[in-house]
Amino acid sequence: MAYTKPKIVILATGGTIAGSIDTSVATTGYTAGVVSADALIQAVPQIKNLAKISTQQIANIDSSNMTDEIQLKLAKEINKLFTSGIDGIVITHGTDTMEETAYFLNLTIKSNKPVVLVGAMRPSTAMSADGPKNLYNAVALAADTLSKDRDVMVAMNDKIQSARGVVKTHCLNVDAFSSPNFGDLGYITDGQVFFCNNITKKTQKKSPFDVSKLTELPKVDILYTYSNDGGAVAAKAFVADGAKGLVIAGSGSGNIHQNQKKVLKELLKEGVNIAISSRVVAGRVVVSKADAKLGFISAEDLNPQKARILLALALTKTNNPKKIQEYFLKY
Given 68, 96, 151, 291, the residue binding ligand SIN (CB under 6 A): 96
Which residue of 16, 106, 147, 161 would you call a contact of ligand SIN, by CB under 6 A? 16
- Point out the catalytic residue in the list 16, 27, 125, 203: 16
Minimum CB separation of residue 19 from ligand SIN in Å reads 7
Of positions 8, 11, 32, 102, contacts ligand SIN by CB under 6 A? 32
Q: Distance (Å, rounded) from C-alpha 125 to C-alpha 21?
A: 6
Q: How far is CA 96 from CA 32, 39, 84, 108, in A?
A: 11, 22, 31, 21
Strands 153-156 and 159-162: antiparallel
Strand partners, 9: 54, 89
Tell whether residue 131 is a contact of ligand SIN (CB under 6 A): no
Strands 153-156, 115-118: pairing is parallel
CB of 152 to ligand SIN, least distance (A): 17
Identify which range of 94-102, 198-206, 269-277, 287-295 contacts ligand SIN by CB under 6 A.
94-102
The active-site residue, picked from 27, 95, 108, 203, is 95
Contacts of 80 (CB under 8 A, 6+ apart): none
Do residues 37 and 12 touch, judged by C-beta distance below 8 A?
Answer: yes
Sign of the C-alpha dihedral computed for residues 52, 57, 59 and 63 taken in this order:
positive
Q: Return the number of the residue (65 or 255) whose C-beta is nearest ligand SIN.
A: 65
- Does 99 participate in binding ligand SIN (rule CB under 6 A)? no
92 a catalytic residue = no
Binding ligand SIN by CB under 6 A: which of 6, 88, 94, 254?
94
Min CB(65)–ligand SIN separation in Å = 8
- CA-CA-CA-CA torsion sign (52, 58, 60, 65): negative
Q: Report if residue 121 touches ligand SIN, rule: CB under 6 A.
A: yes
CB 138 → ligand SIN: shortest distance, Å? 14
> Rounded CA gap, 141 and 143, in Å?
5
Beta-ladder partners of 216: none
Stretch that binds ligand SIN, among 21-29, 70-78, 89-97, 234-242 (CB under 6 A): 89-97
Note whether 124 binds ligand SIN by CB under 6 A.
no
Strands 7-14 and 52-61 come out as parallel
- The reply to whether 15 sits near ligand SIN by the rule CB under 6 A is yes
The helices-and-strands tally (H runs, E runs) of the chain is 9, 14
- For position 123 contacting ligand SIN by CB under 6 A, the verdict is no
Least gap, CB of 98 to ligand SIN (angstroms): 7
- The C-alpha torsion from 256 through 176 and 62 to 38, rounded to 10°, is -150
Size of the site for ligand SIN (CB under 6 A): 12
147 lies in the binding site for ligand SIN (CB under 6 A): no
Q: In the annotation, is 95 catalytic?
A: yes
Query: For the residues of 167-228, what is the DSSP string, one character each?
Result: EE--SS-S--EE-TTT---EEEETTEEEE----SS--TTT-----TT-S----EEEEE--TT
Residue closer to ligand SIN (CB basis): 109 or 121: 121
Active-site positions?
Answer: 16, 95
- Per CB under 6 A, residues contacting ligand SIN are 14-16, 32, 62-64, 94-96, 119, 121
